[in-house]
Structure 1
Amino acid sequence: MVPVVEHGTRRRRARRRRVLWGGGEVLVTVGVVLLLLVVHQLWWTNREAKRGAERKVEALEREWGSGAAGSPDVPSGSGTASTAPSARPGRTGTATTATPRRPYTTTRTVRADDSRAYAVLTIPRLHLRVPVAEGVGKQDVLNKGYVGHYPGTQQPGRAGNFALAGHRNTHGEPFRYLPRLRPGDTVQVETRTATYTYAVDKILPQTSPRDSGVLRPVPRSAVRPAYGYTDPGYYLTLTTCTPEFTSRYRLVVWGKLLSMRPRA
């Protein structure tokens, strides 16, 4: 006997096949879109930000070398900070800390909210050379691959705390390898008129994003008081997110000023 298949059963099976096929297409499309977003975030933003940061460093060097008028030496904002942190080979050896007899100052200033790059940060151990701009806004500074200066903290070479922030991942990720720094490693900050050399002194592996103590003129963690300083000095603070690909905590690296060399 030949089995009889009703037309209604065939239609139901056909509908199920269409639903399954359509659902599969939707899942594949969503997967492709998510993959493209990941590629854009982890590769394209890094590529574009790094290239933009490299071009800015080259532009600053050309500007300083030519002596042409351009971005002022350092922005004007200084004082006590009230904001909290955001967002390899070549060991240099142990360095001794020396306090300059006369901190460098400048009369050329810009608005404290100006986000233009005005300095270059160099970290030999990390093979890093990146622009420094005023502010820590993502759109105007950090997402360009720049390192941002916390408004309200001091400027390079001045007594107090010169505090910077940078992305750990994506958008150029200048501070991705910050945990590789060790006490004694050198960090240089170049401006139009001088080069300031700091020596890494202390590292705070993890603290709260709201730990504003690390940005004070005499930096000391308000969350982990064992980390930080008690005496005034010439400090450098570098902050970034930790662990990688999260923004749950902050990693902090502190340095002390070793020397100031005027540009020729």
Structure 2
Amino acid sequence: MRRPGCRGEVGGARPGGGQGHGVTALRPERKTDASYGDQSYEASGALGQWDATGAREPHGAQGSYKEPYEEPYEPYEPYRDPLDDETMALRVPDPAAGPQNEAVSVSAGSSASSSPEPAAGGRAARRKAAKRRGGGRHGGNRGTAPAAAPETGRPLSRVEARRQARLRKPSPAVVASRAIGEVFITTGVLMLLFVTYQLWWTNVRAHAQAGSETHQLQDDWASGKRNPGVFAPGQGFAILHIPTLDVVAPIAEGVSNAKVLDKGMVGHYGEAPLKTAMPDARTGNFGLAAHRNTHGEPFRYINRLKPGDAVVVETQDTYYVYKVTSTLPVTSPSNTSVLDPVPRGSGFTGPGRYITLTTCTPEFTSKYRLIVWGKMVQERPRSEGKPDALIE
């Protein structure tokens, strides 16, 4: 049994002659009641209230009832996203909201624990901001964020990421070209070191060794430890002076590279089949050889010698002074006739006391030989002092 005037009843009877109303029921037009005069229910005073059982409580002195309290009704509207840059062509910025869709710049060296500012704008903008932060749709940092496609800015799928990695991997041609380039660079560095060694370091070592040998010879001569005679290969026995070229170099027996020439010394052709005379011989050709480049290079500039220039050989007892007579700029290395007692091509016509200087030509090669000849003009004992050629 339903109570009169109960909520949900359509047009039910009410105590005091009132008409019941449901919240959602249509209401007929209300009329004035004679017992209340010309006042309507609404004009009778403050609104009545419903008790716990659903009946209205009496209000006023006359015990009248008031309309039940109705909550204000708001029509249903479908949910709409806030204004979004992706869904609206134009929009009026909200001054209170501040700049919209401001790009969040994250430094490459910033700490992972720093919390970025929340992205302004609609839901799509917030999603994009979350993706840029590496959190994905549901937030949270799940490892390294996937790379983004440069055209669309969206994260790459696994297949696309693998394809990108394969494209970034160098091809075999690139790897081969890099290897060849490294080989060339390494070869160039080694060649540069070798050239530095040949042109600089060998001269440094040879000058030091030749200087030491020269001083040793002079000390031995002063102390009387050495006597003229036959010398062993590599043994120093004299000192060569070329004043025009400012050359002072020890002369050792033999023309071996390892024992004589590479040590910055001048070698004497003293072994068969290219054995030549010694300076103290009454007749003969005193043949000498030395490097033109590297290893002290004592004969580097003998091509500048002119007829009349002095060449002095100093021994333990005597100074032998020669004057340059002629030069053979180029000849074959096998032309050993230049060392004959009367050298062929020198211009000498008979036996005499001659000197022959031999070296390589052109410079920095050993393809040909350069020959300089001279004739002895003075033999001066050491006891008489230095010859004029060494004093001038």
Higher relative contact order (CA 8 A, sep 6+): 1
Classify the secondary structure of the residue corresponding to 2:308. coil
Residue pair 2:261, 2:295 contacting (<8 A) in 1 also: yes
1:154-169 to structure 2, matched below 5 A, reads 154-158=277-281, 159-169=283-293
Structure-1-length-normalised TM-score: 0.78
- Is the contact made by 2:236 and 2:253 (CA closer than 8 Å) also made in structure 1? yes
State the shift of 1:27 in Å. Answer: 2.2
Deviation at 1:202, TM superposition (A): 1.0
Matched, 1:40 2:159: no
In structure 2, C-alpha distance between the alignment counterparts of 1:195 and 1:172, rounded to whole Å:
24
Report the Cα distance in structure 2 between the residues aligned to 1:181 and 1:160, rounded to whole angstroms.
22
Whole-Å Cα distance in 2 between the matches of residues 128 and 212 of structure 1? 25
The secondary structure found in structure 1 opposite 2:292 is: coil
Structure 2 counterparts to residues 1-264 of structure 1, below 5 A: 6=163, 9-10=166-167, 12-13=169-170, 17-67=174-224, 69-70=225-226, 72-73=227-228, 108-111=229-232, 114-151=233-270, 152-158=275-281, 159-221=283-345, 227-264=346-383
Cα distance in 2 for residues equivalent to 1:230 and 1:251 = 21
8 Å CA contact retained: 1:168, 1:174: yes
Give me the whole-angstrom Cα distance separating, in 2, the residues matched to 1:66 and 1:13.
75
d(CA) in 2 for partners of 1:17, 1:251: 50
Residue 90 of structure 1 is matched in structure 2 by: none
Q: Label 1:205 to 1:176 Cα distance change in 2 as closer, same or farther (>3 A).
A: same
Larger radius of gyration: 2
The aligned amino acid for 2:234 is S
- Shift of residue 260, structure 1, vs aligned partner: 1.0
Contact 2:320–2:379, Cα closer than 8 Å, also in 1: yes
Distance 1:164 1:65 in 2: 25
The answer on whether the counterparts of 2:231 and 2:237 sit within 8 Å (CA) in structure 1 is no
2:341 partner SS? coil
Could you report, residue by residue, the CA deviation over 1:195-251 in whole angstroms, capped at 9, with x for unpaired residues?
111111111111111111110001114xxxxx4322111100001111111111111
Superposed CA offset, 1:105-137 (max 9, x none): xxx3235xx221110000000000001011111
Find the aligned partners of 2:356 and 2:337 in 1 and give their Cα distance: 11
Q: How far apart are 1:15 and its partner, in Å?
A: 5.2
* Of 1-10 and 17-26, the range deviating more from structure 2: 1-10
Match of 2:76 in 1: none
- Aligned partner of 1:83 in structure 2 is none
Q: SS of the residue aligned with 1:188?
A: strand
State the 1:20 CA deviation: 3.9
Alignment coverage as a number of residue pairs: 221
Structure number having the greater strand percentage:
1
Q: Check 1:251–1:121 CA distance in 2 against 1; reply closer, same or farther (3 A cut).
A: same
C-alpha contact 1:220 1:230 (8 A) present in aligned 2: no
Contact 1:166/1:173, CA 8 A, preserved across alignment: yes
Query: Percent of pairs identical after alignment?
Result: 48
Question: Structure 2-normalised TM-score?
Answer: 0.53
Residue type at the aligned position of 2:252? A
Task: Write the distance in 2 (CA, Å) between the matches of 1:193 and 1:216.
Answer: 26
State the 1:173 CA deviation. Answer: 0.5
Q: Does the aligned pair in 1 maintain the 2:231–2:253 contact within 8 Å?
A: no
In the TM superposition, residue 62 of structure 1 has moved relative to its aligned partner by 1.5
Q: Quick check: 146-155 or 227-236, which moved more?
A: 227-236
Determine the C-alpha separation between the residues in 1 that align with 2:284 and 2:179. Answer: 63
Aligned equivalents of 1:196 and 1:127: distance in 2?
17
- Give the deviation of 1:18 after TM superposition: 4.3
State the alpha-carbon separation in 1 of the partners of residues 331 and 231 from structure 2: 32
Root-mean-square deviation (CA), in Å? 2.1
